[in-house]
Amino acid sequence: MPQDLPNNIIRGFSFDSKNELWTALHILIDASIESEVAAAISKENKGEDRAWYAGRAEALVTFKTILIETRNQVLDHEGRPPEVRNPSENGTQS
């Protein structure tokens, strides 16, 4: 079993690659990242507000990376190839 991962995490990340919830999760996270970045660079926001929105975007990117790395760690353990996702697969603009 992948090191340091509880059994329930391993079972939870062992789903089929076409899992609708996994796709929906990527769509939602990507849209949230785009929204936070847009707020961070908006002319309406200044100083601390920009930093706050940028920090939220970075936290979402980090969370998404953790999810993808965990999924790929489980897939590797199962002898399956890692998943490679691009924005067009997630339903967002490329």
Tell me the whole-structure pTM to 2 decimals.
Answer: 0.83
- Are the beta carbons of 90 and 30 closer than 8 angstroms? yes
What pLDDT was estimated at residue 20?
95
**pLDDT of 4 above 90:** no
Measured CA distances, 79 to 38, 52, 56 (Å):
39, 41, 35
Domain positions in the chain:
23-90
Residue 25, SS3? helix
Residues belonging to the chain: 94
Q: Residue 87: which pLDDT band, with cuts at 50, 70 and 90? A: low
